[in-house]
């Protein structure tokens, strides 16, 4: 598709803004992870699974969940595994 100069300029501005925001997002996520890590370390050292601070309650405890081992199932029941595979179509938006 051929864009007009105006359309190209508008889209370029949006792409540049997206790229800037993606960089900021990564930086913020890294900062959040660091802060969470500090709190987790504190709670682990104090052996505290729950912590009340002002209006917040922080939980950091072991949890158990049951997962289906699809790799093992596929190895032992290949035909049955293939029977239940579904293909789904999705749109992907990328900027390179």
Residue 70 pLDDT: 96
Question: Mean of the pLDDT values across residues 17-22?
Answer: 98
15 with 95: CB under 8 angstroms?
yes
User: In percent, how much of the chain has pLDDT > 90?
Assistant: 99
Residue 45 pLDDT: 98
Dihedral Cα 12, 15, 16, 19, nearest 10 deg: -160
73 with 81: CB under 8 angstroms?
yes
Residue 16 pLDDT: 98
Within 10 angstroms of residue 58's Cβ, the number of other Cβ atoms is 15
At 9, is the pLDDT very low, low, confident or very high (cuts 50, 70, 90)? very high
Q: What is the pTM of this model?
A: 0.76
């Amino acid at each position: 598709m051929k864009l007009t100069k105006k359309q190209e300029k508008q889209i370029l501005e949006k792409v540049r803004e997206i790229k800037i925001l993606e960089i900021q997002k990564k930086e913020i996520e890294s900062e959040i992870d660091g802060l969470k890590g500090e709190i987790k370390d504190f709670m682990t050292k104090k052996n505290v699974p729950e912590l009340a601070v002002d209006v917040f309650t922080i939980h950091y405890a072991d949890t158990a969940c049951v997962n289906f081992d699809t790799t093992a199932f596929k190895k032992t029941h290949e035909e049955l595994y293939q029977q239940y595979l579904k293909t789904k179509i999705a749109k992907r938006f990328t900027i390179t």
